[in-house]
Every structure is written in C-alpha cells, then in structure tokens.
Amino acid sequence: MARNAAAGEPHEITSLPAPLEPLFAGDVDYLFRMIRLGEIRAIEALLKPVGLARSAWWPLAVLRENDGMSQRELAKRLNLKDAAIGKAVDAMEKAGIVYRGTDKTDRRKALVGLTPAGKKLATKVGKMKSRFLDAMVAGFSERELREFRTRLAAVYGNLSGFIADLDRNA
C-alpha cells in the first residue's frame, strides 16, 4: 500500500471510509481510530480547494478567535510541540495567511497573527468546520448531542487518568 505523506499514516486514506471490520465490532478504540481516519480524509478534502494542508485546520480555528498570540501559546493550546507548530506556521506564513511579529513587551516572544487574507480564509475555513461538525452529528437530537459531548469528555478524562497511572507506574 502506498504511504500517504499528507496524512503521516502508513496507509492510504481513500475517498470513502473503509467498511468497519467485524472482528472489532463495538471496540471503542477501533471506532475512534476509524473516526479519526475519516476526519483526516474529510479535513484534507475540505482544505484542498483553498490550497491548505491539514496542519492549518486547528491553528486557523484558534487564531480566528484569538488573533495575535505567541507561537508557544498557540502550540500549548493545540497540544503541539514547538517544532510541529513551527512547521505549520512556516507553511501558513509562506501561503501569506499568517505573519510573525515580536511582542512589544517581550521581544523574545514570536507572535503569530492572521493577515487580512488569512482572516478571510479563517472565516471560510470556520464555515467548513461547522459544516463538517454538523455532518458528523447529523440526526442527533439536542439532548443526544449534549450527552454525546459529555460522554466524550468523560472518555478523555478517563484516558488522561489511565495515562497518568501508567506514567506513575513506569
């Protein structure tokens, strides 16, 4: 199978999601994996017409709401290492949608902000993100959606606790 460099995965992400493997029917970790692969494919397809890489998806969402923050703060909010956010910001800067500047109060800080073209594009990508999220929860009632979000947050908390236990026992 060809290596998909854009996805950074050792498998190819096809246009349509692969059918679920019956062997793993109901396995939560398998369902999360398959949802994540579908999410990657959908984000790449949404961003392709505007010429952006998947790495721009989350930084644009954060900068759209909080423009002009330090690169380190952006990395922290997205749980990314400095090198990863640096690479994403480099690509977005090259595309002319973000600029880097220095903080007037602390010249050691590299600030990242949206250019006028970046603000327009961030609004467009925000609409894409809304469309994508709506598609993911289509058919859910408001009550089901609230419950789903609550359950996902609980899974995240459980996983965080599990990892902390593993780290303590390592």
Tokens of 143: 């009550």
Domain 24-135: top CATH class = mainly alpha
Residue-wise pLDDT for 118-146, tens only, equals 999 999 999 999 999 999 999 999 999 99
How sure is the predictor about 155, in pLDDT bands with cuts at 50, 70 and 90?
A: very high
Kindly state the average pLDDT of the residues 15-30: 81
List the domain boundaries for the chain: 24-135, 137-170
Q: How far apart are the first and last CA of the chain?
A: 35
User: Which contiguous run of DSSP H or E holds residue 98?
Assistant: strand 98-102
Query: Which amino acid is it at 22?
Result: P
Query: Rounded distance, CA 36 to CA 11, Å?
Result: 13
Query: Which amino acid is it at 49?
Result: P
How sure is the predictor about 14, in pLDDT bands with cuts at 50, 70 and 90?
A: low
pTM, entire model? 0.81
Query: Rounded distance, CA 162 to CA 51, Å?
Result: 39
Residue 3's Cβ-count burial label (10 Å; 0-12, 13-18, 19+) is exposed
Q: Is the pLDDT of residue 4 over 70?
A: no
Specify whether the CB–CB gap between 166 and 159 falls below 8 A: no
Bin 110: left if φ > 0, else alpha if -120 < ψ < 50, else beta: beta
